[in-house]
Amino acid sequence: MNNGSDFAGVLKDIGGFLAELLASALWGLYMIISSLFTILSDFFKSINLPMLPSRSKLLQDSMISGGLLLIFLVYILVMNISAFKLFREDKKKAQAAPPKAAAGRRKRSYDRISEKKLLSRCFFGGALGGFIGMKVFRHKTLKPKFTIGVTVMLVVQLMIFSFIVGFFGFWLYFT
């Protein structure tokens, strides 16, 4: 029995030594990293960088603010017109496509406009054009992906666009 308790005591001593060694190593690592961050902090404080104009001062120039607003409005107009045209083209191609020939055979879909392209055009700013195109041409109105998706995109885009136009309009009005 004496040998068993001696062995347990030796294991306890080794465990205690390893715990102290690990704690010392971690403390040393902490001190090294802390010193490194202090040195880097002092270095970056000593660098004198030129001041960049703030966004508010930059947008106070009515030429810049008006130009950005015009670019934004032209982009939105182009995206909406192109989404409307894509829905029109896809509807024409869908009407011109022959019906399915036999069970299991698919009609050629490579000449149609993909749903991914239609939805991505709506997502990147053309939701209003896509929504109007869906209603005018009665195209993709039975697919929830389009009826719900395009409608949600339209609502979100109207909120975002009204904020952006209001933001640039604020700078145009008050400069």
Could you tell me which of 99, 91, 106, 75 has the C-alpha nearest to residue 146?
Answer: 91
- Look-up of token digits 């802390």: 34
Residue 57 clears pLDDT 80, i.e. is over it: no
- Look-up of token digits 């990293």: 33
pLDDT band per the 50, 70, 90 thresholds, residue 50:
low
Q: Using the 8-state DSSP alphabet, how is residue 76 labeled? A: H
CA distance 83 to 92: 14
Question: Are the beta carbons of 84 and 130 closer than 8 angstroms?
Answer: yes
pLDDT band per the 50, 70, 90 thresholds, residue 82:
very high
Structure tokens at 11: 């294991």
Question: Are the beta carbons of 164 and 72 closer than 8 angstroms?
Answer: yes
Amino acid of residue 49 = L
Tens digits of residue pLDDT in 103-160:
555 555 557 889 999 999 999 999 999 999 999 999 999 999 999 999 999 999 999 9
CA distance 111 to 98: 12
Structure tokens at 153: 């995109």
pLDDT > 70: percent of the chain? 81
| Residue-wise burial string across 100-138, b where 16 or more C-beta atoms lie within 10 A, e elsewhere | eeeeeeeeeeeebbeeeebbebbbebbbbbbbbbbeebe
**pTM: predicted TM-score of the whole model, two decimal places:** 0.60
Could you tell me which of 140, 130, 131 has the C-alpha nearest to residue 91?
Answer: 140
Residue 102 clears pLDDT 90, i.e. is over it: no
144-173 helix and 62-96 helix, angle to the nearest 10 degrees: 160
